[in-house]
Structure 1
């Protein structure tokens, strides 16, 4: 079939073409629309995508299809949104929804795809998008994942540097801040000398010039020894801390950048805060609690994954083997407990934000998914809370978008942007209220007429690790979001500093 570009735009759909041709044409329409500012072309491409039958598509074709579709939504946003207006800080845009959903779908199909270059593009674009919406901690992991596939992928290097530069600016620890600047300088310079497009090179060079105007070059290049730090007194503790470092699970922004020993501590706290004289340090109290719960959940996960020996409490616990490959043990209960604790932490974060931003929810009506919205009487629908939008807070914006990863039964809530959201919510529901079974052999799914949810052990471990990482990111956004708010406070009266001493390890019994 030989058609001109304009004739292709008049078609009903692209299903008459071979999968690779349809993917190519969709990409062509979006790129042409972007280059010539033709919003109509992009909208036609988006309509084509809605009608596209993917049944005969390979995983490579599906990966590229969703990648192109994400680009289409990005170009539509770029051509219709004024980046210098308040639209830039809009917490909720359908264009952003669709970019995230399609890039994540592309990433799912990339697992069995062969095109490594396209995989790196998907991961890099996900990192860029997550950084934009305030999920800057997770953005670093996407960019690092691209470099794990191809260590020479220059746009990932450049965006790591770009992201670290902006991430550094909202840190409250000056030592961490300068180390971030050093790594930003390192990655940006690597990207600049490589073969990247001019617009990116100019942007990266601008940040390098800015850093060199503030610091001496030799200081930016001289990164301290990052390994000469203790990570434990026993072999078991060192194993635990190395595992946590490699999985980037420490409550420490440095662990987003490096896995060296220096990042092997949970040093994240709330920043210095100014409170009314009669206000107790409730935020520090809540943060202490959720931090301890996170560290405990992380250790439960570590033990369950790495130490599967028989526990003495399981001895002489009489149970029946009904030949279903199920595992009932202290070990599996630890990972189930870690999973439950993670969801509990999210609601406590919502509880803290509700009070800190004075959102007005009654304490027994607070949930992490629900605090971002208020009921609009005119439309009789939920809408984003103006108090949150007006903060224009990058990290709080990230927390909002992180909440969109969660599934909520209430149809008034926006649909989740995480492909596994409904499945994770189902697991939580069955663990808490129903029959839940972990197996080592067989297939996951609903059994016993829907009464029992069965999940393979390795699959459950991966999902719990993913959830633990999500909680870690949420705590970083909470701390740094509050830091941004505290910096903006206008203090007109006298302030009396109160110093809290460090809670000593010997008291932790």
Structure 2
């Protein structure tokens, strides 16, 4: 279909185009709008995308379609917002919503695609938008996935380095921060001599220059031995810790840059905090509890996934074979417990933030999703909690956007950017209150007149692993977000330092 740009813009929609032509037409519109800085062209392209039927599209065509639509929203955002303005620091953006939704949809259609370059571009852009939002820990995992698809993809190296540099600025452990700068410098150097677009190359080179302005080049190159650290004494403990490292599950920012032994322990704590004399170490107490629940849930999941032999507690537990391939075992219950504990931990994070930021919610009404939104009586609408948005706190913004991956029935909080959020909420509800079964074979969904929710064991284990990764990230954002808030405090009164010692392992019985 040979049409001029003007003729395309005057069309009512693109539904008469061949399926393979639609993504290309959108790409032309969005790139033309970006280069000419014409928002009207981009807006028209987004309208075409909204009205487009994808019924006859192949998965590859859907992948490219959603990737291009995400680009359209990205260009629209760049042309309509001012950097570091109040609008820029708004926690909630329709443009960012749409970028994440479309990139995730593109990724979902890419799994069987042979187009490796497009897969890399999708994952790279997901990492970019996650980093922009403040979900910098998860961004690193997206960029690392790019390298698992194409180990030489230059933009992945550059973005990893660029992301690590900004991640480092939130870290309050000087040793960890130094290692982050070393890795950032190493990854950025891998990109500079490659064929990437000029704007990115300039940004990466400027970051290299900045790092080298406060750390000597020789120091940056001299990265310590990361392997020479113990992972335990028993075979079982070593196996467990290697699994945690591989899945980036240690409460340790270093596990975002390496899976070597140095990251194999849970060292994350809240930063040094300034409290009134009459204030007990309340936040440290809650964080201790959160950490212990996470570590316990993580080990339960490890056992649920890896120890499939019959447990002695399951022996002589007479049950009926109802011919539905259902799994009833101690091992599967461990996975279910881990799933439930994840939600409990998230609500405790909301509970801690409610008090720390003085958000004013009644403690019994706090949940991880509820603290971000308040009801405006004047406009009779729900809006972003100004006590949070006014912080302009990058990790707290990341925590807010992570909360958007979860679903609540209340319409005020039901907007979500995670396509599977409703299913996760349904699973949680059926596990907690209704009939839920894990099956070895068969399809997922509601059965028995919608009384039972059934899910394939492999699928449930995958969802639980992804969920516990979200919880880990949320704990990192919480600690780093509090660190940035503590830096803002002006100390006008005498301060008495109180040093806490680590609780000895032999007391943990």
Fold in common (TM above 0.5): yes
Does the residue aligned with 1:29 lie in a helix, a strand or coil?
helix
- How far does residue 181 in structure 1 lie from its aligned partner after superposition? 0.3
Task: Please tell me whether residue 213 in structure 1 is matched to residue 216 in structure 2.
Answer: no
Does residue 336 (structure 1) correspond to residue 329 (structure 2)? The answer is no
Residue of structure 2 in register with 1:64 after alignment: 64
Cα deviation digits, residues 357-402 of structure 1 (max 9, x gap): 0000011110110001111011211111111011110000001000
Task: Provide the residue aligned with 1:156 in structure 2.
Answer: 156
Q: SS of 1:498's equivalent?
A: coil
Give a deviation string over 1:51-72, Cα, whole Å, max 9, x none.
Answer: 1111111111111111110111
1:373 and 2:373 equivalent? Answer: yes
Distance 1:447 1:25 in 2: 43
Shift of 1:412: 2.1
- The Cα shift of 1:18 comes to 1.2
Which residue matches 2:271?
A: 271
Structure 2 equivalent of residue 434 of structure 1: 434
The alpha-carbon deviation at position 351 of structure 1 amounts to: 0.2
Partner of 2:296: 296
Render the CA deviation track for 1:155-199: whole Å, top value 9, x for unaligned: 010000000000001101000000000000000000101111111
SS at match of 2:382: strand
Map of 1:96 onto structure 2:
96
The reply to whether residue 116 of structure 1 matches residue 116 of structure 2 is yes
> Structure 1 residue 114: deviation in Å?
1.7
Distance 1:357 1:84 in 2: 22
Measured after TM superposition, the shift of residue 347 of structure 1 is 0.4
Shift of 1:321: 1.1
Q: What is the CA-CA distance between 1:26 and the residue it aligns to? A: 0.5
TM-score normalized with structure 2 length: 0.99
Question: For the residues of structure 2 that align with 1:12 and 1:477, how far apart are their CA atoms?
Answer: 45
After TM superposition, list the pairs within 5 Å mapping 1:114-263 onto structure 2.
114-263=114-263
Work out the CA distance in 2 between the residues paired with 1:412 and 1:479. 27
Q: Distance in 1 between matches of 2:84 and 2:302?
A: 46
| TM-aligned CA deviation for residue 413 of structure 1 | 2.1
For 1:501, the equivalent position in structure 2 comes to 501
Deviations 1:331-361 (CA, angstroms, capped at 9, x unpaired) = 1110000000000001000000000000000
Map 1:399-414 onto structure 2 (within 5 A): 399-414=399-414
* Cα distance in 2 for residues equivalent to 1:362 and 1:409: 19
- With 495-504 and 312-321 compared, the bigger mean Cα shift is at 312-321
Tell me if 1:30 matches 2:37. Answer: no
Alpha-carbon distance between aligned partners in 2 of 1:202 and 1:452, rounded to the nearest angstrom: 56
C-alpha distance in structure 1 between counterparts of 2:488 and 2:443, whole Å: 53
Deviation of 1:433 after TM superposition, in Å, equals 0.3
Q: Which runs of 5+ in 1 are unaligned?
A: none
SS of alignment partner, residue 110 of structure 1: coil
Which contiguous aligned blocks of 4+ residues in structure 1 show a shift greater than 3 angstroms? none
Shift of 1:252: 0.4
Give the equivalent residue in structure 1 for 2:10: 10
Aligned residues: 509
CA distance in 1, matches of 2:380, 2:8: 42
Query: Per-residue displacement from partner, 1:104-127 (whole Å, max 9, x unpaired)?
Result: 111111112221101100100110
**How far is 1:84 from its partner?**
3.7
SS in 2 for 1:19: coil
What whole-Å deviation, never above 9, does each CA across 1:200-255 have from its counterpart, x for those lacking one?
11110001111111111111011100000000110110000000100000000010
1:412 aligned counterpart, secondary structure = helix
RMSD: 0.7
Which residue of 2 is the match for residue 55 of structure 1?
55
User: What whole-Å deviation, never above 9, does each CA across 1:313-337 have from its counterpart, x for those lacking one?
Assistant: 1111111111111111111110000
**2: CA distance, partners of 1:412 / 1:493:** 41
Q: Secondary structure at the match of 1:449?
A: coil
Residue in structure 2 matched with residue 349 of structure 1 by the alignment = 349
Displacement of 1:414 in angstroms is 4.5
Determine helix, strand or coil for the equivalent of 1:436.
strand
Do structure 1's residue 386 and structure 2's residue 386 form an aligned pair?
yes
CA distance in 1, matches of 2:83, 2:271: 30
Which residue does the alignment assign to 2:76? Answer: 76
Deviations 1:29-74 (A, max 9, x none): 0110011011111111011001111111111111111111011111
Query: Is 1:318 aligned to 2:318, yes or no?
Result: yes
After superposition, give the CA deviation of every residue in 1:456-476 in whole Å (9 maximum; x if it has no partner): 000000000000000000000
C-alpha distance after superposition, 1:71-97 (max 9, x if no partner): 111111111111141212110111111
Matched, 1:490 2:490: yes
How far apart in 2 are the matches of 1:471 and 1:8?
Answer: 46
- Secondary structure at 1:24 match in 2: helix
Structure 1 position 455 matched with structure 2 position 450:
no
Classify the secondary structure of the residue corresponding to 2:371.
coil
Whole-angstrom CA distance in 2 between matches of 1:181 and 1:439: 46
Greater shift, 388-397 or 412-421, is seen at 412-421
Give the Cα–Cα distance (whole angstroms) in 2 for the partners of residues 197 and 411 of structure 1: 43
The separation in 1 between residues aligned to 2:464 and 2:450, in whole angstroms, is 22
Residues 373 and 412 in structure 2, CA contact (< 8 A), matched pair in contact too? no
